[in-house]
Structure formats: C-alpha cells, structure tokens
A and B are shown apart, each in its own frame.
Chain A
Amino acid sequence: MWENLKEVIEQRQLMLTFAARDYKVRYAQTFIGYWWSLIQPIASVAVLFVVFQKLVKVPTEGVPYLPFALSGLILWNYFNYVITQSAASLINNQGMIRKIYFPKLTLPLSRAIVGLVEPLVGFVLLIALLLYYEVFGIGILFFLIALAGTAISALGIGLWTAALSIRYRDMQQILPFVLQFIFFLTPVAYSADLLSGIIPSQWDFVLYLNPMTGIIESFRAILFGGDFNPLILMSYAAGLVLFVSGLALFQKMEMKIADIV
C-alpha cells in the first residue's frame, strides 16, 4: 500500500495538473465563472438559515445561528463534494484508464484538492461572521484539523464507492440517497444534542460512528466553547479506518480496472 502512496507522491505534479484541469473545467462556459465558489456557500447557508432558524427555530445553545450553521456547512459541503466526485472519478475517466498508465489514486486525490476552494472561501466568510457577532477566537485555527479529518473520511468513503462502482454501477445511484440520509444524521443545521435527545443515550455512539458528527462537534466545541464529548475521538478513528480500508480495496481493484471498465 505504501508503495502506491509513494508513487502518488512522485506523481504529485500529475495530481496537481488534474486538479487544475478540473477546476478550470468546472466553471467553463458558466456566465459568472469563479464567482460560483463564493455564491455556493452563501446560498446554502441562507437556505439553512430560513429553514432551521426562521421556520423550525432549532436551539443552538446561545450561539448566533449563522456562524453556527456555516461552521458545520463548510465541512459538510466539502465532505459531500469529495465523496461524490471521487466515487465517480474512475468511471468518468475510463477512456484514459484503458489507454494510459498512471497511478489511479491521483484521480480521487485531485478531486479532494479541487474541492478545497469552496471551504477556503467559506472559511473567510466564517471569519467575517465571527468578527461581526464578536465571537472570534484563536480556536478558528482548529478548522485546519477539522478540514483534514473531513478530507480523510470523505476520501475513505469515496475510495470504497469508486472501487465498488467498477463492478457495481448501482453505487452511483445509491450514493445520493445515502448522502442525503447521512446529512440529516449529522449536526450541520442543528446541534448533536438535538439528535442524541431523540435516541436512547446508550446508543449515542452510533451517531459518532459517522465521522462528520465528531468532526463538526469538535470544531464547534473549540470555536464556541462547550463540552468535549469523548465520543468525538471515535468519529476521527472511524474516518481513519474508512480511509485505510478504502485505500486497500481501491488498490486491490486498481489492478483489474482496465479489464472491467
């Protein structure tokens, strides 16, 4: 497994070239171009604000709703993007895979790099909101750790899906539903306490098997102050397990890709 990672590092230039290609192509022939990177996080946080703050009025333990929601949404959107993109990365590049040899791992990894644009734009927005509501603190730096945790977890799931999609295209159909389902089980628009209030307390750990639960909770606990649930560590561990197992499966399937796709 480490041999392959080494090869990817040697081929980092290819990975960056793929990332640059995907970034350019993503906004090709759109009217407002790169401005979409800014509009997307603003629009989605506006939706959450209207639905969960104005209509449902979810409690946020005294934290202003906009920075609260945005802190979760930035990470969730990145998670969602990396999974969706890396899951389809092998199938979308089958022509190339059948005709050119290159480390396939560069494909999902380059997607994770391209996807970074939006969370970084979101990060600047978040800082602006924190300053506005006067809750800004040094804890904001924890964002980098949360983002790395998100990338690893999302790649883990993405690698699993990409590897399975080679044989079972059904994965591509199932994935959107699964992601939507997980979205509601993740404390993005509301707090984890609200979710754990619904289920018996001895089952709380199930929520934290979802890597995003612990990642978002830890970020918020450090950003806004609050209890640090020890189950958070389990979320990070789950992300790591997904990544390592996903990588192993991906590399096993990599050998057969050209014969199957």
Chain B
Amino acid sequence: MSTSAISIQNISKEYLIQKGKNKEVFKALENINLEIEEGKVTGLIGANGAGKSTLLKILSRITQPSSGHAHINGRLASLLEVGTGFHPELSGRENIFLNGALLGMKKPEIKAQFDEIVDFSGVEAFLDTPVKHYSSGMYVRLAFSVAAHLQSEILLIDEVLAVGDAEFQRKCIAKMDEATHQQNRTVLFVSHNMSVARSLCEQIIFLEKGKVKTIGDAKSVTDQYMREMTETANALPIGQRKDRKGSGELKFSQLEISHPNSKNGSLLISGEPAVINFSIKSLKPSATHDLDLELNIFNASGNFLSSLSNKFVGTSLKLEGEEQSFECTINKLPLMAGSYYLRAKLMINGFPVDLIDRALNFEVLLGDYYGSGNFKQKATPGIYIDQNWKSKP
C-alpha cells in the first residue's frame, strides 16, 4: 500500500463570469476526489477548459478552491509557465537566483547547484547578458533548468514541454524521469501530447468538464481520450463547432478530405490522390480577404507531422462575397496507414481568425506508395519520402 503525496478531497471551484448583463456561475471543477501516489509520475489530460490548469493552480496555492481541500504531503514546487518571474533587464545569472528564490529555493541551495543549472541550460556563454537579449529557446532552457533542479518532493508541471526544441525536450523528460526514480519524487504533469504523456506517466487522470472521468494506466486512458476526442470532432459539422479560437470574422464552414475517385467509396489510401474540400464563410461579406491557410497534420498521438499551406506553395487565395469553396489536392498521399487529424488555422494579415484544434479526423488505408508491390503496415504510422537507391560503381 503506497502513501499519497497529494490527497484531494471534494474540491470544487466556481468562477463568476460576466455574460451580457448577468453574472453566471461557471464550474471549473466539481467535487474532485483524488489520491496522487508518492514517487510516481501522474498525467493530467483533458480538452481545453476541462479544469486541468485550475486544479494545478489550486494545488500550488495560487488560487483557493470554492469548497473542499487538498492535503499535501511534502514540499511542493510548481512550474505552470516557463520563465514567469524572469526579469528582462537582469542577467541570466541574476535571474537564476531570482527565479530560484521565487520557486522557494534557499540561496545556499541555488549556489550549490548553480553550475549544474548553467550546464543543463547550455547558456553559459551568455550568463552575464540581460535575458531580454536571449532567444526564446535560450530563455525557456534557462527557466526549465532552474525548475528542474528544485529539490522538492512534489513537482507540478503544466505544458512546459510544449515549448523548446526537441533535443531539449528529451533532456527534460530524462531529467524528470531520473528525478522520480532516483529521488522518489512525485510529479503531476498536464499534457496535450499523448505520446509524451504515455512515455512519461505511470498513471493518468482524464478530466472532462471539471470532473474526473477516468483514472487508469497510461495506455488505456490515452486511448480512451483520443477515441473520445475523435467522437467530439465528428459529432458536429465544423461550422457549428464552439471549440474554436481566433477573432471569428471568417470561419471554416465546411471541411472534408476524400479520395477524388468515388469508385473507392472515397476512402483514403497511401500513395493515391486525396482532395481536401473546404469552405470559408465571412461575417463581413463586403470586404475582400487575402487568405493565409494552414492545415496541420498530426498523428493520433498528437505529434505534428506536416503542414499544408497555400502560402508555402505561393498560391494566393481570395475570399470575395459571403461564402466560397476551395480545394487542396494532394497527388500522392504520403501518409502511412493509420489515424490522423487536421488542425485548421486561418489567418488574415498574420492574425489568427479561426483556429480549430481537431478540425477533422481521418483514416488512411494501406496502399502501395512506392509502387513496388512490397508494402506493410507499421505499428506507428509516419510519412513516406520519395527515395532512390543505387549501388555505386
């Protein structure tokens, strides 16, 4: 029987939000009861607005629950956003001490680990430069390094791995893994990336609309989450969906992907053509808009694969009038057999106008991309790259 590092009892959190003239109660969390086991990495997943961040904020005492309470067993540190509390005018060295103090580290503690922090961040050459001159990557690396060296028994992390380059992400994951296994540290970790969550977490909590939906092992809960996200995405036509961001002057009113040859029952097949048909609707039909479209392709685990964009290929698309349909043709679909989704993003003059995270789910069936007659299914689908092999004389 393992002990709990965090014990959450009946926590609810309500916000009053202004809706027109009336105030409305919004329940961010409702009667949450959880035991977070000591020495384990626990993941927290859920759609936007499910209450993941609110829960972390309550546990880190930034905000108070409306009712219920949490019992925390040990020293707790939280990293909800990388680099908060960094002062742009101060040097990297000064910011390490400032940030460390903010996260609750004592000065001797920071001094003892100073070299290690600097080494891990890889910014030693710029240690005495004000951080306002840092690139965003350096900034993130330095900030995460400070937090990663915190000697706390419990660490709360919110999405910080979403930033930083891939190599640094791997370093962070390794560091966290080392921390939990060697120092028996408890980590509670919010993620949108299912493959990171799966590789890192021993247990996952799935939140939905402020309630705990499922608790279980990483694989089964992420599977359930991805399945449900797919169902949500398919439940409503894209024009009516509410889970979108952006200013909203223009909207995707239709989006579908199919095989142009209806003989196949419009199923998508690797190596064969595919057509994305979509329509854009304008709320201000009088103006002409120069569209900047991006359709990002993700695999089912939430890993970015590639991007389709009219600006990439140098095609100008204009919307005149109220609604117009467009199409994007892929001559030879380079996706291996598997499940994917598209993230639809429409920008005008660099500003996001309409953004839908899981705009469209689709399946690709096994096909002979290279036309060699020799093809097989892969466990983790990826992309095909045209290639030529030959032996040199």
Using a CB–CB distance below 8 Å, which chain A residues touch chain B? 13-14, 17-18, 21, 24-25, 28-29, 95-102, 255-256, 258-259
Contacts of A95 in B (CB 8 A): 84
Contacts of B103 in A (CB 8 A): 100
Contact B101 A101 (CB under 8 A): no
Cβ 8 A contact of A14, one of B61, B81, B101: B101
B15 at the interface (CB under 8 A from A): yes
Contacts of B330 in A (CB 8 A): none
Contacts of B101 in A (CB 8 A): 13-14, 17
Contacts of A255 in B (CB 8 A): 64
B97, B98, B101: which has the most chain A beta carbons within 10 Å? Answer: B101
Q: How far is the CA of A13 from the CA of B103 in the complex (A)?
A: 12
B89-118 contacts to A, CB under 8 A, are: 89-90, 94, 97-98, 101-104, 106-107
Contacts of A256 in B (CB 8 A): 64
Contact B102 A21 (CB under 8 A): no
Contact A28 B89 (CB under 8 A): yes
Q: How far is the CA of A101 from the CA of B61 in the complex (A)?
A: 6
Contact A24 B62 (CB under 8 A): no
Q: How far is the CA of A24 from the CA of B81 in the complex (A)?
A: 25
Contact B81 A99 (CB under 8 A): yes
B69 at the interface (CB under 8 A from A): no
9 A-B contact pairs sorted by A residue (CB < 8 Å): A13-B101, A13-B106, A17-B97, A21-B94, A24-B94, A25-B89, A28-B89, A102-B102, A258-B57
Question: Given A98-B62, A101-B62, A258-B63, A17–B87 Cβ distance below 8 Å?
Answer: no
B78 at the interface (CB under 8 A from A): yes
Q: How far is the CA of A204 from the CA of B80 in the complex (A)?
A: 54
Chain B interface size, as a band, is 20 to 34
Contacts of A18 in B (CB 8 A): 98
Q: Chain A nearest CB: distance from B287 CB in Å?
A: 35
Contact A100 B89 (CB under 8 A): no
Contacts of A98 in B (CB 8 A): 62
Q: How far is the CA of A99 from the CA of B86 in the complex (A)?
A: 12
B46-71 contacts to A, CB under 8 A, are: 57, 60-64
B85 at the interface (CB under 8 A from A): yes
Contact B63 A100 (CB under 8 A): no
Cβ 8 A contact of A99, one of B84, B87, B97: B84
Q: Chain A nearest CB: distance from B132 CB in Å?
A: 10
Q: How far is the CA of A96 from the CA of B83 in the complex (A)?
A: 9
B80, B98, B102: which has the most chain A beta carbons within 10 Å? Answer: B102
